[in-house]
Every structure is written in structure tokens, then in C-alpha cells.
Amino acid sequence: MSHGALLKRVSAGVLDVAYYEAGPADGIPTILLHGFPYDAHAYDEVTPRLAAAGHRCIVPFLRGYGPTLFLSPETQRSGEQAALGADLTALMDSLDIERAILGGYDWGGRAACIVAALWPERVSGLVSAGMGYNIQDIAGAAKPGAPDQEARDWYQYYFHTGRGRKGLYEKRGEIARFLWKTWSPSWSFDDETFRRSEASFDNPDFVEVVIHSCRHRYGVIAGDPAYLELEARLARQPDISVPSIVVLGEDDGVDPPPSEDEDAQKFTGFYDRRILPGVGHNVPQEAPSAFAEAIRELAKRD
């Protein structure tokens, strides 16, 4: 990450978190969270826009990505949603951030939605991209979806198998590049852009965390016992009451936005849904101006 962002580290919960920080130290706390299979560089063009507008941007590498490492070899390499939410609150605690604007997509959007739903007093605004209400309904995951959506989720079922685990271990870069292309068919990223993020998949825990994520979300594997209570709270599919803007790419190849807004009922406060033409799944990297503007709008509302 360029534009004056500094790579820092902090011990937070079960992790030694690596994160980029940009903007004034006394600026508006803003935490930006990447998804799978991407990394913190998804926000390379978002952070300078926000930093110039007075935001203190914190952009962590999630568990299993880049320089972020587990503190103990005994900790389960879980990728479940509760773990991602717990990681985010632990990061906020370690950085003495009582309240922040949260922005994310994919895995990062899930972490942001979880914290916004369960600890709204800590969130001044939420930008959820790629999906709107991004908390998994694990109990309902056994219900078959539409055939076209099942086809788009092929990689999740692939990772349920030993063959898929081996495939991810041996061909993680090839799989990630294929997902980038199919999930964002109108995004012409270059090799340098991909390689910058691809390096993060060499994290020693990447494969285990991803495999666990894809298996746990369908209830086919147990979670980390440390998160049982948190998962129980998420199973109730809590509403999100904080001011929220949902930003979706019209060309999203894995989670195409439905014409009917099925998520609006889960947001009980200020809510706006935006669909961006010519944009795929990786909204902040494909449309950094639109993503940054949504963050700025929420800051003005606070």
C-alpha cells in the first residue's frame, strides 16, 4: 500500500495483526476489511481519498492472510464468521478505538456486519459491499439454492473435499486469479495488481482458515469452541441498527444483486442501497471513489 500508509503490527486477541494505517492520528476512526481471495491492497486507492478527508484508516490483513499470524500454535485455524467478528473487536480494543466506521466486503463485510449487529455502540456507520446483510444463516445452509447460484458457489463445495483442499494448497494463486476474473468480469486488473495480493496467500494458515470457513458455513464441520456463544447469537440473525450503506456491483459474478432488495428488512436505521454498473465483486478496488464516498457520507451523518 502506498500513499503514505504505514505497515504496523499489534497483538489483538489470538492474532498478531499486520495492518496499514493512513491519515491523521486524531482523524475519524475508519476500519476497512478485505475479503477472500484478496487482501489489504484492495483499499490502496480508497485510503488516500479518506485520509485526505480526515479519516484515520486502519486496513488489516485478516486471519490467514499476509503478515497476520496466530500467536499460538494451539489456536484452531478457524475461518468461521464468529472468529472474524471477534478478531475485529479485538483489533479495536488493542488500538483503543471505542467507535469506528466499518467498511468491508466478502469476509471483511461479514466481520463488519457482525460487529455492527452485536455491538452497535461501537459502530458509527457501516458500508457493506458485495453483499448487504452478510451474516451467515448456517442453520438454513442445508436448503438448496437456485441452480445458477449453486454453480457460482462451486469453490465452496470443492473445498469440502480432500481434493479441493489439496487443490487450494497447490494452486492457490491459480484459483484466486480465476475467481478474480469470474467474479469481476468487467475489471481489467493487471499482473502486478494480482501479484501484490497473491503474496498474501502464502500465509502459513491461509489454506486451513479458508477450508474451515467454507466447511463451517454449511454446518459440515465444528467451529472453534471459543466462539460457540457468539455463533449462537449470530444464529438468531440479528438486525443491524447503525447507519448503513450497501454498495453492490452490477456485474458481480458470484453474488449478483437481486432486483428486489431482500436485505432491507434487516437494517432498522438509516439505510441506502446502491448498485454500481460495470463493477464486480471487489467493489473497493474496482470503484474506490464510490466506496470512499459512501464512507464519507456516513461520517457526515454522525
CB 118 within 8 A of CB 86: no
DSSP-assigned letter for residue 133 = S
Q: Which residues contact 240 (CB under 8 A, 6 or more apart)?
A: 113, 116, 117, 120, 126, 133, 266, 267, 268, 269
Whole-number pLDDT of residue 2: 55
Q: State how far the Cα of 253 lies from the Cα of 281, in Å rounded to an integer.
A: 7
pTM for the complete prediction? 0.97
Please report, in tens digits, the pLDDT of each residue of the chain (302 residues total).
Answer: 656 678 999 999 999 999 999 999 999 999 999 999 999 999 999 999 999 999 999 999 999 999 999 999 999 999 999 999 999 999 999 999 999 999 999 999 999 999 999 999 999 999 999 999 999 999 999 899 999 999 999 999 999 999 999 999 999 999 999 999 999 999 999 999 999 999 999 999 999 999 999 999 999 999 999 999 999 999 999 999 999 999 999 999 999 999 999 899 999 999 999 999 999 999 999 999 999 999 999 999 87
Whole-number pLDDT of residue 159: 98
Whole-number pLDDT of residue 289: 98
Whole-number pLDDT of residue 251: 98
CB 285 within 8 A of CB 59: no
Beta bridge partners of residue 246, listed in sequence order: 128, 273
User: Residue for cell digits 463488519?
Assistant: 112
Whole-number pLDDT of residue 1: 67
CB 171 within 8 A of CB 201: no
Q: Which residues contact 173 (CB under 8 A, 6 or more apart)?
A: 198, 201
Whole-number pLDDT of residue 7: 94
Report helix, strand or coil for 232. Answer: helix
CB 283 within 8 A of CB 12: no
Whole-number pLDDT of residue 67: 98
Q: State how far the Cα of 184 lies from the Cα of 281, in Å rounded to an integer.
A: 6
Question: At 188, which amino acid appears?
Answer: S
Whole-number pLDDT of residue 142: 85
Question: At 280, which amino acid appears?
Answer: G
Whole-number pLDDT of residue 60: 98
Instruction: Select the CATH number that applies to the domain covering 6-301 from these four: 3.40.50.720, 3.40.50.1820, 2.40.50.140, 3.40.1160.10.
Output: 3.40.50.1820
